[in-house]
Structure formats: structure tokens, C-alpha cells
Amino acid sequence: MELPTRVPPPVSPESSVTQNEEEVVKNFSEGAGERIEHSIEQPPDDAKPETESKEEKNVESVERVTDVQVTDDQVTLPNPITVATPPEDQQSDQPASLSPSSTPCPSPQLVTECHFFYSALLCAQSSLLPLTLFWRGWDKADGRFWEFWMPTLLPQTLGAVLISWVLKPRRSDWYYKAFLYLQYFAYCSTFIFGILAKDDWVFTLCAAVIIQGGILKLLEKLRRTIASLADDELSEYLKHTVLKYGLIVGMGQLLFISLISIGCDGNAYDFRQCRRALTSQTGLGLMLLIALGVNIISGIFPRRILLKHTVKVKRVVALDLPLGEIIQCILGLVAIGCGMYILGLMTGGAWGDFGEYKEQYVLIYTIIIGCGSLISVAIWKWAIIWREMRQADAPELEQPQAEDEVPMTEASSIWFYISILAILLQTTLSILYSLTLDDMLQFSSSLIYPLVVILYVAALLSQPRRESVQHRRKLKLHFALFVWVGEAATGLASFRMGDFGALMVSLFRAVMFTVAFYFGLKLRRMISELPDKDLEAFLTDTIFSRGLLTFIYALFFSFQVVGCSFERGSIGRCSNTSSIATFITLFLLLTWFISIMHSSLRKEWRKELTLTNEQLASVSGIPYLLLAQGFLTLIIKTCHLFFLSTITAYYSYETTLAVFALLGISASILSVILTAYSINRTKKHNESECERVEEELDDLAINEFSWWYNAISFALTSTHSILRVAYAFNLIQIYGLLADIILPYSALSFTLSLLTKPKRRDAAYMRFLIFQLITFVLPEMISSVMSNLRMGEVFSGVCYAVVGMPLWYFSFKHMLRIREASASLPPKELSEFLCQTVLVRGLLALGPLVFFSFEIISCAMSQYSIVNGQCANTSTASFYLSLILIVVTLLSVTNKAAPNSVQRAITWDYSHMATLNLVWWQRLQGGFVVITVVASLCLWGGFGEGDQNAIYPLAGITGFLAAVLAWNFGSYALIKTHDDLRQSNTAQLESVRSARVISTGELSNDMVISAFV
């Protein structure tokens, strides 16, 4: 069916359209694969004035669209204006301007149905479960299908069925309905066969028939309701709710957790050793499935009503909520806690069987409570919205709330009393442990200790303007109960056991908390002097929002320790895991505390404590304090990533853990001290000046990076080449391992260093780049082939040489052309490209690369060896994930190497993706991006200890080649568009394709980011 398009207004009677412009529009609509309807009214000949001069006849005006505003997935087109176009004999031969008025803009589309390709794709995904049943059979003695494949594929199968029913809500023909019913029947038949395999199948079958019938009725009602929406509302619903958050994010999450179970099965000797991972994956998948269904159903309600019933952070902090919203918040927190418990148990390792029956029952009850909480919150909210839609009128709904205009200066006292209750619980557990010396009491007390610290800090700073004597006494009593009583009980237990080392640790911890409490009171007084708006932002954003995230992370790592105790059957065997979780939580707390210290300053004063991207790229004008804090932050993040990679390891070197812990804690303490000194100095400096002149740091523009980045890149590539050559001659395993670990950093630094100085075209610098390429690529290729041949792997060596050399050659050639295209950017856009794209995305890619490297080191530490084959899956997954991440980073950087005016003037959003209204190479690029995401999700399941699985090398090679092809499509189109714009002033079609490549890159970033999250 034809999709409705918005028709531009007719041309004024004084203007006409030339034949050249009509050909451009026709070629553009054919090349882009779109149907653009123009309603152009040509004025009659007699309507033109007879006094028109010869010069006026030669001037022809056409419609142009200017000042196109691009927001989140939306394009706003203002009223067109008339621009005079000179005749052909007066047109210049210079390239066309890249201003918005020089490029035609496609009309925004209204989407009333998605392309049938998505229906076929979801049908294939939902058919995996029936096909697996046909493949494995439904023999009860086998058990693999019912105990492994059924819980693994059930959530994503039901999610695929759910989204399929809302892709084409207005299709009412009988063959499409038959397609939907057959898809649902295939899913139900597999579910019923699974029930028939049980002994007590009669009651379960009756209940399943009733539930599946109810789901079918709900889908039919939902489809009819969606079809009754207006065209613009239906278009927004399909683009955002169904396609973006349903198909891409929702189904990506369900696919990811199912691949975790498959990865556990690949690492284990028997799938029954993965029962904990299977049950956890099924429970988390059901919770995600319920959240997906709630999002799809909530999308049919008017947005203004949904925003009205969205609980705001400000009202939660002040607890200015009605009873219904309070219950919703409590049930939401319960669902989050259940999800963190399930995620903490979903280790995915080979030791994932249930130790005892009560553990399995606790997990099942947690799944039921979590799913029930989500359903209860949704039904409660839907009932309130439905009743209000039937009773209230629209003008009353759009009235702004008066309480939002009054700034909030303190949180509710209930949060203070919640903190006291948590402290009483933790102190009671510590006292009972000191009396009984029960290990379970000690484990419980240490488990909730980080959570109590977070609640205590939030309570201390939640009411900064209360300075009464009574409130100060409450704070001191609060502190004494938390620190001195609790630490005294812990020290007494250590003294009774004769552990004087632990006694000294308790005493040191009490002294450190006392010092922190003293400076915390000073910080509290500083916070009370903030303006009302800044104080409200401090309470809502820093204290509550970031504090809640820190609390959730700490809860997750606590549940990781619980899962370890279940997995290994004893608390004593999880000492390393408990210590690592403590260190990670401590780093999170210190990071949160540093953000609290930064937020204690006025908003206009914080610029002096912020390191801008321009300063970081040019390595100039950076104060020594900021440089030291940045270096300490790098150390803290590195230690944090190391502990994240080792928390699931079965064994770890205690010396290595102690070194990283000491390094991270020292860096954190020094960072806090430097931050406090910088804040105090900045506050005194700004208060001493009556009229402070603002420094415009944002006006700083750069056109190249500092030479330090090229030096670091050359050092990394040279180190990798030396290690690779040493391994080729000696075949010592440590050289090959270090070369494989350094390779991703070398490749990322080398490819991005080609873009750090785009204006440098002198012969000396170009020779340096070619020399670095030769010294990096040739030793890598020749040494890898030699080492493979010496080990007898002739086929691998030949394939590596045949594929590697052309790949590096064409990549280097593409990067030079992209470098040339970025050099033509205006100065301000070039500075944004270097700072916001090359620098920021390169640094963002550095964190996952470090994590992947630490995964290999963690597995080697756990196995006491790297050559016994138990770390083959981890090393393979880390290697290929690093390469894929590098190519994805290059794709995102390439997509930004174009003028901002082109990106603003022409863009395509999820409407083009929903209808697949793209040219052929854009569809191929999107397909390669999808293959890359699926391969990356599959590789994530390879982290763990176990025998080598052949699926991970295959998935890695497939994902890497797909990512390279997607990047080559984007870079080729961008280069061709750049050349055409320089040679011709009628290259509107190619500029359209360039902008669409940019949007394709943004969509690929969304997909990869959602997959990694």
C-alpha cells in the first residue's frame, strides 16, 4: 500500500520550476527509493504581468527548505521560502554550497505499517522453538529439549509473536490474519507438547489453554486499538514503541540472555550443570518480556496523560506522592531488587547447578515476585489512566502543576528514618556475630554494609539547611550508632577469634569514618549555601538519582557474592569474590562522593574544575591539578575494570588482587583530597571577586591533536611488532599472548591517529604515516604466517596472509580518503569532529578493550595457565569482540566526517527503516550491522572457563567481516559523495545518500550500544 506523504505547499504564482530541477527531484526520488508527491500549481500564462522585464524572465525562483531542525528521531520542516536562482549562463562553476538551502530535503513519512521483512524475520525467530522440537524430538528420556531449549527460547519466541501482531495493525485481509494465527498456533503447539511430556499434565494443560486463550484475546484487542489510532499517532507508535524499543532494544536483550545460556552449555560438560543459569535466564527473560509488553501497551495511551502519571524524581525525594504512586514506587523497587538477584545468580559458568532444593525454590519465588510486581504496577497505572481518559477533559490535563515552580531545598524526613532502620539492622547483625561468632551472621552483615553506607551518606546530606541543635544531635547519634557501635562489635568478634589484624582494620575504619564525618559536616554547610535551583538539582540528580544507581550496582555485586556461595557450596570458598565485590563497591562509593563534592559548588563555578575535550586533545592549557586528577581517574577506572573481569573467576592470585586494590584505593583517596583542595580554592577565589569575568572555554577550536597521541600510537605499534617477531622466532607462549593483547590497542590507536592531524599534508608527515603502517602491518603479517607455518597450521597462515594484507591496504586507503574529507570541514565543525567524535569515541572504546584484556588475564589466573585449553573460548571472544568494537568505532567516526549542514538538511529516521525505503547498498549495510550485533551477542556468551567451542571462532570471523563490510559501504559512499560535491554543483542525489549513511551509522550505534548494555 502507498504510504501517505506530506505534500509541500504550491509554488507562488510568480515562480516556476525549470526542467533541470524537475530532473534532479525525479532522480533523487528514484535513487533513494522513495515516492515523493509534489503538488505544484503552474500559473496560467495570462496571469503574468505584461510589464515583466527581460531580466525578470531570466530569474526563476524555486522552493527551498531552510533551517531544518533535527531532534530525537524527528525532522521539523519550517515554511518554505523563495530563493532566486540565476540563469544557466550566469551560474558559477564552483562546487555547490553545503548550506541547508542548497540541498533538497525529502518529505517526512507517516508510517502506518512496517515492512513485511520484519514479520518474516520475527516468524523465523518464533519458529526456532518448533523446529528445535522437531529436531530433538519430544522423548521424555532425552530431557535436553524440555530442560534446556524450552526455557532458553521461550521468552524470545513469545516476544517475537507479540511484536508480530502489532507491526501491521491495519492489515485485515484473510491471508495476513492466517499468517498471524499460524504463527501463534506454532508457538502454542510447542508449549502444549511440553506440557504433555509431564506426568501430571491434565490440570496444567487446562490452565495453559486458558492462559494462551487470554493472551490471544489480548493481542486481538490490542491490534484493533492500535489500528484505530490517528495516522500521526500510529506513525510515532510504530517508529518508536514497536521498532526502536520493541524490535531493536527489547528483542536484542532477549536474544542476549538466551545466548548466555547457550554459552554456558558450550563451556560445561553437561547442560544440567547450567540449571542455575537456565532458570535465571528464563526468569530474567520473563521480566524483560513483561516490561516489553507493558511498553507496547502503554504506547497506545496519549503521551500527555502518560507524562502526567510519570513519577518525577523531585516528588519522590520530597515524598509528595499520593498513595497509589507510593505503592507503584515500592513495587518498582521490589522488581528491581528481584531482577538484580536473578542477574547476580546468572553467572553462566560450568559450575551452575543448584546445590540444594531450597536455593531453586528461592530463585523461583523471586521470579514470581518480580514478574508479579511488574504486572501489578502496569495494571494499576493503566486503570488510573483509563478512568481519567473517560472522565477528565483535555484542557484540565494540560494544566501545569504549580508545585513544580517551587524549588525543593530538602528531602523528606522519611529517608532519614529509613537510613536509621538500615543501620539498626546492620548493627544488630554485627552484635549478634560478636556474641555467637556465626559465619552466616558475619556474611549477612558484610553483605549489607555497602548498602548501609550509601543510605547513611544520603541521609547526612539530604537536609543541609537544617542547623538546629536537635537535628545536629540526631546526626551525631546516627553516626555513633553506625560507626562506633558497629565497628566495636566487629572488633570484639575479631578479638575473640584472636585475629588482631582484623581488629586493627576495624579500628582504622572507625578512625577514617570519623574523619570523613568531620569533613562531611563542613561539606553539608557548603551545600546549604547553594542557590535554591542548584540545591534542588543537587538533591534530585546527585544524591537521589546517582545514589540510587550506586545502590543498585552495590546490590548487584552483593548478589554476585550470594550466587558464588550457592555455586561453590560454602561462604569460605568465596573470599576472593567477596573481597573483589567490596573493592568494586568502594570505588563506586568514592566516585559518587567525588561527584557530590563537585555538585557542592555553584553551577557557574564548576567550569574551572572541568577538563574540556579541546584541552585534552591539544594537551595545552591544562592545570596541573586537573592533569593529576585525570591520571588518578585513569588508574581508578583501570583497577575497576580489572576487578569486574575477575569477580567471576574461580581462583585468583591474592597478591595481584592486593596490588590492584592498594593502587586503586590510594588513587581514590588522593583523588578525593585533590578534589577537596580544588573545590576549596575555587570557592575562595570566586567569593573574593565581586565581579567575575567568565572565561569562554567553549570558544576554543583546534584543528589537530597533540603530537603526544602520535607518539603513543607509534610506541604501541612498535611494541606489538617486536613481540610478534619474537614469538615467530621463539614460539614462546607469553610473547604471543602479549602480542594478541596489545593488538587491539595498536590497531585502534593507529587508525585513529590517521585522523588526528587532517590538515597536515606535507611530505614528511605522510612519510611518517606510511612508515608506521609498514612497521606495524608487515611484521604482523609475516610473523603470523611464519608462526603458523612452524606450528604446522599451513591453511591458517595462508588464509591470514591472503585476507589480512588486502584488508589493511584498503582500510588504510579508505582512512586517507576520510582524512581528506574531514580536512575540508569548516574550522568549528572540524574542531567538533576531532573533539566530540575522534577523541570521545576513541576513549569510550578504550574501556571495553581493557575489560576484554583483563578477561583473558583473569581466566589465566583462575586456571594457573593459558595453554591448557580452558581459556580458549575467553581468548577467542575477547579477541574478536575487540576487533568488532574497533570497526564499529571507525564506522561511527566515519559517519561524522561530513559537514553539519548536510546532516541537518537531509536525514532519515526510523520511518525509512520501518518501511525499508532505502537504496540497495543501504539495506546491505543495515543487514551487515544486524549480523555484527548478533555475532557480538553470541561472543559475549564465550566468557568463562571450559573446553573450546567451535561456534565462537565462526561467530567472531562472521561478525568481524560483517562489520568491515558495513564500514566499507559507509566510507565508500561518503568518499564518493565528497568527490562529487567538489566536482559538480548538481550533486544533490549523492548528498542525500551521504546523509543517509550518517543516519545508518547512528542506528548502528544504537543497536550496538543496546546490545552491549
Which stretches does DSSP call E strand in 750-850? Answer: none
| Average pLDDT across the chain, whole number | 75
pLDDT range class, residue 715, cuts 50, 70, 90: very high
Cβ-proximal residues to 982 (8 Å cutoff; 6+ apart), any chain: 95, 824
The backbone region for 930, taken as left when phi is positive above 0, alpha when psi lies in -120 to 50, beta otherwise, is alpha
111 with 235: CB under 8 angstroms? yes
pLDDT in tens, 976-990: 666 666 665 444 434
| Better-predicted residue by pLDDT, 556 or 388 | 556
Distance from C-alpha of 667 to C-alpha of 659, rounded to nearest angstrom: 12
Query: Residue 16: what pLDDT?
Result: 36
pLDDT in tens, 13-35: 333 333 333 343 333 333 333 33
Query: Residue 45: what pLDDT?
Result: 40
The DSSP letter of residue 609 is: G
pLDDT in tens, 910-931: 777 788 777 777 778 788 888 8
> Nearest-CA neighbor of 561 among 544, 546, 583?
583
Q: How many other CB atoms are there within 10 angstroms of residue 477's CB atom?
A: 11
Query: Residue 986: what pLDDT?
Result: 41
pLDDT in tens, 850-899: 888 888 888 777 766 666 667 777 888 888 899 899 988 888 888 777 76
The DSSP letter of residue 924 is: H
679 with 609: CB under 8 angstroms? yes
pLDDT in tens, 178-194: 888 888 888 787 777 76
- Percent of the chain exceeding pLDDT 70 equals 75
Query: Residue 947: what pLDDT?
Result: 67
Distance from C-alpha of 117 to C-alpha of 120, rounded to nearest angstrom: 5
Summarize the confidence of residues 209-225 as an average pLDDT: 86
Summarize the confidence of residues 661-684 as an average pLDDT: 87
Query: Residue 357: what pLDDT?
Result: 56
Checking if the pLDDT of 499 tops 70, the result is yes
Distance from C-alpha of 99 to C-alpha of 904, rounded to nearest angstrom: 9
Checking if the pLDDT of 104 tops 80, the result is no
pLDDT in tens, 126-145: 888 777 777 665 555 456 77
pLDDT in tens, 668-677: 889 888 888 8
> Nearest-CA neighbor of 815 among 880, 901, 747, 902?
747
pLDDT in tens, 593-626: 988 988 888 888 887 777 777 888 887 778 888 8
Query: Residue 8: what pLDDT?
Result: 37
Checking if the pLDDT of 52 tops 50, the result is no
- The SS3 of residue 84 is strand
pLDDT range class, residue 4, cuts 50, 70, 90: very low
Q: How many other CB atoms are there within 10 angstroms of residue 316's CB atom?
A: 20
pLDDT in tens, 437-494: 888 888 888 888 889 999 999 988 888 988 888 888 888 888 888 888 888 888 888 8
936 with 1011: CB under 8 angstroms? yes
pLDDT range class, residue 282, cuts 50, 70, 90: confident
pTM of the model: 0.78
pLDDT in tens, 372-404: 999 988 888 888 888 777 765 544 444 444 444
Checking if the pLDDT of 553 tops 70, the result is yes
Query: Residue 369: what pLDDT?
Result: 92
> Nearest-CA neighbor of 903 among 811, 836, 816?
836
Query: Residue 109: what pLDDT?
Result: 66
Query: Residue 679: what pLDDT?
Result: 86
pLDDT range class, residue 312, cuts 50, 70, 90: confident
Checking if the pLDDT of 991 tops 60, the result is no
Summarize the confidence of residues 749-755 as an average pLDDT: 89
Query: Residue 114: what pLDDT?
Result: 87
pLDDT in tens, 224-237: 889 888 888 888 88
What DSSP string describes 138-150? --TTT-HIIIIIH
Query: Residue 98: what pLDDT?
Result: 35
